[in-house]
Chain A
Amino acid sequence: MVALPGENISAEPAGYHDDGKPKFFARWFYSTNHKDIGTLYLIFGIISGLIGGFLSFMMRMELADPGIQFFTNEHQYLVYVSMHGLIMIFFMVMPALIGGFGNWFVPIMVGAPDMAFPRMNNLSFWLLPTALICLLISFVVPGNANGNGFGGSWVMYPPLSTTGHPGPAFDFIIIGLLAAGFSSIFGAINFITTILNMRAPGMTMHKMPLFAWAVLVTAFLLLLALPVLAAALFMLFTDRIAGGTGFFDPARGGDPQMFQHLFWFFGHPEVYIMILPAFGIVSHIISTFSKKPIFGYLGMAYAMVAIGVVGFVVWAHHMYTVGMDVNLKAYFLAATLVIAVPTGVKIFSWLATMWGGSIRFTIPMQWALAFIFLFVVGGVTGVMLANAGVDAYLHDTYYVVAHFHYVLSMGAVFGIFAGFYYWFGKMFGVMYNKFLAAAHFWLFFIGVNVIFFPQHFLGLNGMPRRYVDYPEEFAIWNQVSSFGAYITLAGVVFFFLMLIEAFIVRRRVGDNYWGEGATTLEWTLSSPPPYHQFNVLPRIEDNAEH
């Protein structure tokens, strides 16, 4: 337990009413309060998730049968694929995990009153809706001769993104991603400064909760990787202008492969940016509901640091098939496999935390356990794909689609839902309905597995990604996969029912509604926490657990 001087620091003194909350418009639009901004990020993530989810649902409807059913042509399908990827990554997972939970709980967990630069925090958030609007505009403006929108996938390789899409659709995507990128860079600077400079007395780096560690590593990855994406996007932008540069144009002495190197130098850390905060959240949940401190705390923290560092030197395993020297392949293969070691440290530490613990299968614990299981499945297929020889066969097949959806759509997203249910009462002061939440979990868990597990078989049988149509022999598993999308949709319906029910019924919760096991600083505050927290500065004692 964190020892605090004075009982119940959040209790308001008699007659104390004014906590300085601004009126509605100023509170939500000029917001500088980290909790309000966190809530805005979460709402934004839910909206983007609905848009991105709608796009993927249309894709699954289309792929349920061979032939072209719903889309007018291949291009339109590819636009949906590309936008699904971009929106889910930049506007759903990142805002929810980093902007949402990061803003809400990092300052509280390290014992800080707010983020280091609250005004910049506001800028970070409001750049995102602007960026999303740019992406949505790109849907309805010309892409190329085949129709509106950009269909070059989230990887945006030239020449498809330069000469292949002469219309303004891709320019809007560049502008949108630059805005989203700068939003994340500002956010990263804010998190790093908060964590390094604003910890409460006694809160040394080695006593810091694992979620704060996760966000710290993530913020460094963002700060180092996103500027490279920005540079690559700038170069694409100038390449696209008639008579402009030729960075990626072989006719003008450029090299399209260089874009792939730049993109994946950003793109690989990006996948860890999406999963590390989920690692942090899951660590807290496993520890809380096993009533044990996390096993191997330092190992857990430095495993995340190791994943972050090694994550920067493995990028070319995404491009084994470009015609790379065999020695280079051997290096990227070995370096990639090394990442399995710190990841394994995390998985086994979670298992060891549960070992001998008094486990409660609450809703967040179910999401966290499912996270571990599904992340291991995705991790194992990742180890397979890391092998350059195997990858030559599986590259750009549905096996890859299954792999990264197991780590993202089920890893990162299950981490988000785990955190959402874990902190739901803390953030909103009310408890969810257990039946609706359980229905959400089970439908979602079964649904996503039915969607993505058969895609392993499709990939191993050679079905390529990014096609609107496919031969008859792939029909059965595609039908199963699409059926899974309907189950998942039912799960999402229960999520919204759960939200509506919880806010109508308003079952109030106490400060620490999970009881013994929940030891981080947010559980010492009221639910929801006061508008400005820590009336008494928390002091962390030397023997405190993490």
Chain B
Amino acid sequence: MPSNTKTLVILSAVGVAMLGLGFASDPLYDTFCKVTGYGGTPKIADDNLSEIIDRTVKVEFDSNVAQDLPWKFKPDQRSIDVNLGQSGLAYYTVKNEGDEPVTGVANFNVMPIKAAPFFIKTDCFCFEEQTIQPGEELSLPVIFFVDPQMDEDKRLNDVKTITLSYTFFLTEAGTMPAQNVSLTPS
């Protein structure tokens, strides 16, 4: 007769393994997005070594600021036309309209999602935290290119516009969001 204890041990191990997988999903999901560009995560490279080919895409720029950050954040240009493989340079302007110096960091993603694996950044203000003094205005550059391999993927034949979007968030050093919300009705 099979032992109940043995079955219990095996089944408990399965349960614990699933629990572990649940927690492991956070780093796994992160790595997966960075490697595959899934969910519009653009790739990062040190250099642009690709050849320039004769297909242009329009790169549009979008900006957002988290609710608790007193910043004004706008792209200097609405869009740039680039050939595949050609490096593009764009600027964003950010201004601290609050009374205190604040540190923020920008998150980014790319639409359409299927173009994200081919959208590569070589330099970006979003790689670092930005501390801005009250009233100070900064010009933030981003250098990028669209991988010419995109031309070989039939699924992306219809892509004529790629939108690069940034959202500035308060960094860890700032007040925690959970404490920011008052429990009493205002």
Binding site for B on A (CB under 8 A): 116-117, 142, 144-146, 159, 162-164, 166-167, 185, 188-189, 192-193, 196-198, 223-232, 234-235, 240-243, 246-247, 249-255, 257-258, 261-262, 323-327
Which of B17-25, B42-50, B83-91, B133-141 contacts the other chain? B17-25
Chain A contacts of B107 at CB under 8 A?
A: 250-251, 253
Chain B contacts of A249 at CB under 8 A?
A: 177
Whether B22 lies near A232 (C-beta < 8 A) is yes
| Nearest Cβ on chain B to A232's Cβ, whole angstroms | 6
Q: Within 8 Å of chain A (Cβ to Cβ): is B162?
A: no
CA distance A225 to B17 in the complex (A): 11
Q: Mind listing 18 A-B residue pairs with CB under 8 Å?
A: A116-B4, A164-B181, A192-B11, A193-B4, A196-B7, A197-B1, A223-B14, A223-B18, A226-B15, A227-B15, A227-B22, A228-B18, A243-B176, A252-B172, A254-B26, A261-B25, A325-B113, A326-B114
Give the bracket for the number of chain B residues in contact with chain A.
Answer: 35 or more
CA distance A35 to B178 in the complex (A): 47
| Nearest Cβ on chain B to A258's Cβ, whole angstroms | 5
Chain B contacts of A250 at CB under 8 A?
A: 107, 167, 169
Whether A193 lies near B26 (C-beta < 8 A) is no
Binding site for A on B (CB under 8 A): 1-4, 7-8, 11-12, 14-16, 18-23, 25-26, 29-30, 33, 38-40, 66, 105, 107, 111, 113-114, 155, 167, 169-172, 176-186
Chain B contacts of A142 at CB under 8 A?
A: 183
Whether B29 lies near A261 (C-beta < 8 A) is yes
| Nearest Cβ on chain B to A172's Cβ, whole angstroms | 15
Whether A145 lies near B181 (C-beta < 8 A) is yes
Whether B19 lies near A223 (C-beta < 8 A) is no
Whether A251 lies near B7 (C-beta < 8 A) is no
Q: Which of A117, A144, A197, A234 contacts B2 (CB 8 A)?
A: A197
**Given A230-B22, A235-B26, A262-B25, A223-B186 contact (CB < 8 Å):** no
Whether B183 lies near A144 (C-beta < 8 A) is yes
Chain B contacts of A257 at CB under 8 A?
A: 39
**Given A230-B22, A251-B177, A145-B15 contact (CB < 8 Å):** no
Helix, strand, loop or mixed for chain B's interface?
Answer: helix
Whether B18 lies near A224 (C-beta < 8 A) is yes
Nearest chain A residue, comparing its CB with the CB of B24: A231
Chain B contacts of A327 at CB under 8 A?
A: 114, 155
CA distance A121 to B117 in the complex (A): 51
Chain A contacts of B169 at CB under 8 A?
A: 250-252
Q: Which of B26, B111, B181 contacts A166 (CB 8 A)?
A: B181
Chain B contacts of A242 at CB under 8 A?
A: 176, 178-179
Nearest chain B residue, comparing its CB with the CB of A254: B26
Whether A193 lies near B15 (C-beta < 8 A) is no
Chain A contacts of B179 at CB under 8 A?
A: 166, 242
Nearest chain A residue, comparing its CB with the CB of B168: A251
Whether B185 lies near A146 (C-beta < 8 A) is yes
Whether B22 lies near A224 (C-beta < 8 A) is no
Chain A contacts of B180 at CB under 8 A?
A: 163
CA distance A232 to B176 in the complex (A): 21
Whether B172 lies near A117 (C-beta < 8 A) is no
Chain B contacts of A228 at CB under 8 A?
A: 18-19, 21-22, 25
Whether B38 lies near A230 (C-beta < 8 A) is no
Whether A251 lies near B4 (C-beta < 8 A) is no
Whether B8 lies near A193 (C-beta < 8 A) is yes
CA distance A290 to B186 in the complex (A): 65
Chain A contacts of B25 at CB under 8 A?
A: 228, 231, 258, 261-262
**Given A145-B182, A145-B186, A224-B14, A251-B171 contact (CB < 8 Å):** yes
Nearest chain B residue, comparing its CB with the CB of A146: B185
Nearest chain B residue, comparing its CB with the CB of A247: B26
| Nearest Cβ on chain A to B11's Cβ, whole angstroms | 5
| Nearest Cβ on chain A to B44's Cβ, whole angstroms | 14
| Nearest Cβ on chain A to B73's Cβ, whole angstroms | 14
Q: Which of B8, B39, B172 contacts A189 (CB 8 A)?
A: B8
Nearest chain A residue, comparing its CB with the CB of B66: A251
Chain A contacts of B3 at CB under 8 A?
A: 197
| Nearest Cβ on chain A to B160's Cβ, whole angstroms | 16
**Given A223-B15, A227-B15, A326-B114, A240-B185 contact (CB < 8 Å):** no
Whether B178 lies near A162 (C-beta < 8 A) is yes
| Nearest Cβ on chain B to A229's Cβ, whole angstroms | 8
Q: Which 4 A-B residue pairings sit nearest by Cβ, starting from the closest?
A: A231-B22, A251-B169, A227-B18, A227-B19
CA distance A163 to B18 in the complex (A): 27
User: Of residues B12, B19, B186, which shows the largest number of chain A Cβ atoms within 10 Å of its Cβ?
Assistant: B19
Nearest chain A residue, comparing its CB with the CB of B16: A227
Not counting A323-B39, A323-B111, a sample of 4 additional A-B residue pairs whose C-beta atoms are within 8 angstroms of each other reads A144-B181, A189-B15, A241-B178, A251-B66
Chain B contacts of A252 at CB under 8 A?
A: 169, 172
Chain B contacts of A223 at CB under 8 A?
A: 11, 14-15, 18
Whether B26 lies near A197 (C-beta < 8 A) is no
Chain B contacts of A144 at CB under 8 A?
A: 181, 183
